[in-house]
Chains A and B, each alone.
Chain A
Amino acid sequence: MNPVLKLLIEGGHLTTAQMAQVSGLSESDVDRHLEQLKKDGVFLGWRPVLDLSRESAGAVRAVIEVKITPERGGGFNRLAERLSRFDEVESCYLMSGAYDLLIFVTGPSLQRVAGFVSEKLSTLEGVLSTSTHFMLRSYKEGFFLMEAPSRENERLKVSP
């Protein structure tokens, strides 16, 4: 595995300078690896991991199961790509099973998310049905546990 990818998975909060120190590569090597990962479409960008279910975040998230009609020649792609372009859409996946697309949506209020579903999503030609589930609370986000106890408190400061 690409050594920089390993570090991104193990300790995503390292700066490139720190990654260089940890991996024993030069900073320019780290940059080169990052560029390669971008080129390969593996590393898409830096993004903070947020708990949007906190009240102070002022955000509402929903997961929407969408059934759509596949098209001759393109299958689900055209509609999925079109839906993905909306700013409200965080992620969009083609799924096996009872529905076709699974869409993660974020908005500033319940009304805005509901508006997106009723005005934009369900009115698109080819969308057969939607089923919207609002998220009530996060327990784990992007590998971060929300109530993770702090490590420092758990270990003795010096031990044999």
Chain B
Amino acid sequence: MKRFIARHVAGLPKSGIRDFFEIVAKKKDVISLGIGEPDFDTPWHIREAAIYALEKGRTHYTSNLGLMELRRAIAAYVESNYSVGYAPDDEILVTVGVSEALDLALRALLNPGDKVLYHQPCYVSYHPGVALAHGVALAVPTRADDGFALNVADLERAWQPGCKVLMMNLPCNPTGGTCDRAHLEKIARFAVEKDLIVLSDEIYSELVYECPHTSIAVFPGMRERTIFLHGFSKAFAMTGFRIGYACGPAQLIEAMMKVHQYSMLCAPILSQEAAVEALARGQDGVKSMREQYQRRRDLVVKRLRAAGLACRAPGGAFYVFPSVASTGMSDHDFAYGLLEKQGVAVVPGAAFGENGRGFVRASFATGYDQLVEACDRIERFVNTPAPCSAPSPS
């Protein structure tokens, strides 16, 4: 059968998270800090809006671009929160999560062999997404000592002729890394100079803790070369609704829409109706969740440091990305050992690319009491390391 599978698909590595998931799923009494989604249920008023839409029989296709009411609401939200204006008519496309928007953008932009810069560690789909669009992904390392921010010097080093796109995700899953305004402005200048399109995945941008979030689209010359990607999954705790959007220059959105209309047609209408409600009345919920994440972050960072792990306080998202170097273990052995001995699941950093090696990702999107217990167990594990037989990575 294998011979039937397309080469670029056969060549994709299996997700490291997938292997780990299989093992965790079989174990009982595990506290999982391996979950990349909010523990909060979607606020009731948003769920109720979806139920109401269903009751009213709003079960049909929408415009390919998405409900006009939702696009208007998105335009207003992006304008007021990110200071970039987009026209609801032709500069906003509603998608099935940011994942679809990323895929559409890559497929709409890349010719076979076009090169894409992306920072690493990064979300698991970045490299495969580029490969599936027949592009060539060039990893730009980010480092713990400067908070996993994206540096222009590293971009310069990684750049090659034929680079067309820069993909970035700030705040970042898995590192929680953010970029301050000055950093970002330099990246913007680099993008202009090298004539790059920037795919800016800002899905965690409501969840920042110290510095306010800035979108790269605000800098001179950037609006016309940025595709701003955002969605409802993280800030509004709506992961299962699968609803996101892309904003950008009309010609780029039109190109993405072509791919979207022939593959997805439109995002599910019930999710779109729920998203309208989220934007209309969801701000209090977002604020309350952010405050809770921040307290959890402070707790986890303090406890992991006390346990002897080098852990910086992430500027955004809901992940800490501590180094496990001090334990003498690899990230793989640490994660499997911790699961085996203490029943706590964290994700080995290598699942997020080579530059994640030596780190683990722990999500603090989990209740306080579970977090306290998980930190107790991690402390016990770090302080009584024992040789364990971890299965080798596949």
Give me the interface of A with B, judged by CB distance under 8 Å. Answer: 6-7, 10-11, 13-14, 18, 21-24, 151, 155-160
B326 contacts chain A at the CB level, 8 A cutoff? no
Residues of chain B within 8 A (CB-CB) of A10 are: 292, 368
Q: A15 → chain B, closest Cβ, in Å?
A: 9
A-B contact pairs, 28 of them (CB 8 A): A6-B291, A7-B295, A11-B368, A18-B369, A21-B299, A21-B303, A21-B372, A21-B375, A22-B296, A22-B299, A22-B372, A24-B295, A24-B298, A24-B299, A155-B39, A156-B21, A157-B24, A157-B25, A157-B30, A157-B32, A158-B21, A158-B25, A159-B17, A160-B15, A160-B17, A160-B36, A160-B124, A160-B173
Q: A3 → chain B, closest Cβ, in Å?
A: 8
Q: When each residue 21-40 of chain B gets 1 if its CB lies under 8 Å from chain A and 0 otherwise, what string results?
A: 10011000010101111010
A-B contact count (CB 8 A): 69
Chain A: CB-nearest residue to B174: A160
B123 contacts chain A at the CB level, 8 A cutoff? yes
Cβ contact within 8 Å between B299 and A158 = no
What CA separation (Å) do A6 and B368 show in the bound complex? 13
Residues of chain A within 8 A (CB-CB) of B30 are: 157
Q: B176 → chain A, closest Cβ, in Å?
A: 15
Residues of chain B within 8 A (CB-CB) of A157 are: 21, 24-25, 30, 32, 34-35, 345
Residues of chain B within 8 A (CB-CB) of A151 are: 39, 41
Chain B: CB-nearest residue to A13: B369
New contact pairs (15) apart from A7-B295, A160-B124, CB-CB < 8 Å: A18-B368, A18-B372, A22-B295, A22-B296, A22-B299, A22-B372, A23-B295, A151-B39, A151-B41, A158-B20, A158-B21, A158-B34, A158-B347, A160-B36, A160-B125
B212 contacts chain A at the CB level, 8 A cutoff? no
B189 contacts chain A at the CB level, 8 A cutoff? no
What CA separation (Å) do A6 and B294 show in the bound complex? 13
Chain B: CB-nearest residue to A3: B295
Cβ contact within 8 Å between B299 and A159 = no
Residues of chain A within 8 A (CB-CB) of B124 are: 160
Residues of chain B within 8 A (CB-CB) of A13 are: 369
Q: A147 → chain B, closest Cβ, in Å?
A: 14
Q: B180 → chain A, closest Cβ, in Å?
A: 24
What CA separation (Å) do A128 and B292 show in the bound complex? 48
Residues of chain A within 8 A (CB-CB) of B72 are: none
Closest 8 CB pairs of A and B: A158-B34, A158-B21, A160-B124, A157-B24, A159-B36, A157-B32, A11-B368, A22-B368
Residues of chain A within 8 A (CB-CB) of B368 are: 7, 10-11, 14, 18, 22
What CA separation (Å) do A45 and B369 show in the bound complex? 20
Q: B234 → chain A, closest Cβ, in Å?
A: 12
What CA separation (Å) do A23 and B124 show in the bound complex? 32
Q: A114 → chain B, closest Cβ, in Å?
A: 37
What CA separation (Å) do A133 and B369 show in the bound complex? 38
B302 contacts chain A at the CB level, 8 A cutoff? yes
Q: When each residue 315-339 of chain B gets 1 if its CB lies under 8 Å from chain A and 0 otherwise, what string results?
A: 0000000000000000000000000
Q: A98 → chain B, closest Cβ, in Å?
A: 29
Residues of chain B within 8 A (CB-CB) of A6 are: 291
Residues of chain A within 8 A (CB-CB) of B347 are: 158
Complex interface residues of chain B between 328 and 363 (CB less than 8 A to chain A): 345, 347
